Homo-oligomer: A and B are copies of this chain.
Amino acid sequence: MPRRTLFPVAVVVALMAGTAGIALAAMDEPIQPIAPAKVSNPGLVELGKKLFFDTRLSKSGFISCNSCHNLSMGGSDNLKTSIGHNWQKGPINAPTVLNSSLNVAQFWDGRALTLQDQAGGPIANPGEMAFTHTLAVTTLQSIPGYVAEFKAVFGTDKVSIEEVTKAIAAFEETLVTPNSRFDKWLMGDKGALTNAELEGYELFKDSGCTACHNGAAAGGNTFQKMGVVEPYKSSSPAEGRVAVTKEEADRFNFKVPTLRNVELTYPYFHDGEAATLAQAVDVMGRIQLGKRFTEPENAKIVAFLKTLTGDQPSFPLPILPPSSDKTPQPKPFD
């Protein structure tokens, strides 16, 4: 049980630190500030940004990465489960792409180890973008604007799916959200939080939430069982990490979702069944910690959670290079 070891450490360090300064203040806490993205290859990121918004990576020509990881909406689609090709109902809630570079692995069951691995998944998933990697590459290769951009970035005339996913991943690595009010508080601005928010944070820590929701992303760094104290009831077919490890002990183990920007990423849980933060906090308290938060306690924790909303990625809407006469036609209704 990580919270038994981690939590006391955090408390002890916090007690030891006192008012010893900004850097130390941040270091003491189980949640750490998010660092702004450092871009080493801007051309690669710009290419990835275009691809992220490009519906031509789907069979229909209608669905892009941004359809389900909408950067206007916290990097999520705000739906219980996503809508895929031909309006198929997805099996799971789309996790936010924001701060996903901080995750230990990608997808709820961690089946992709890297953002690059993840990026290829939805393109070829028949229930999502329903394309193939081959067709995606053929399509991009037919678009002169992309060919020139791939050439400038990768130095080759030939587009490959590895390049496509590498570019998307490089863009996604920039989608961090520093500068939340909570981060300002962590960095020493003691006026950044209200008393109620601070009480919510103390309650969050004292209740053991930080056992799983810790680190820069306040989650995303471990797999944990959904339903520790009492079982979680869901009609969702998702069985969690057992699908990857084939170990029965991993059944209903899911990657702990980040709480960064959680105000924006409703609804909650892998099945999207918690519509509000109040519901999510209530369920988490009961099934993970065996606690029933009172209404005022719940409200304080929710108030704290809303301080985790950081600067959202800000960039001009990308303008995509037009198709050529050779570009395969999208097939939305086949």
Contacts and interface: CB of A to CB of B under 8 A. Distances in A.
Contacts of A87: 86-87, 332
A67 to B, nearest CB: 8
Interface string A190-212: 00000000000000000000000
B316 A314 contact: yes
Instruction: Say what secondary structure dominates the interface of chain A.
Output: loop
A41 interface: no
Contact of A264 (B74, B79, B316, B322): B322
Contacts of A53: 72
Identical subunits present: 2
Interface string A45-68: 000000001111000111000010
Contacts of A325: 275-278
Contacts of A217: none
6 contacts: A56-B78, A62-B67, A74-B322, A263-B322, A267-B329, A316-B316
- State the 5 A-B residue pairs at the shortest beta-carbon distance, nearest first: A87-B87, A276-B325, A312-B319, A72-B320, A314-B316
Interface of A: 53-56, 60-62, 67, 70-74, 77-79, 83, 86-87, 89, 263-264, 266-267, 275-278, 312-320, 322-323, 325, 329-330, 332-333
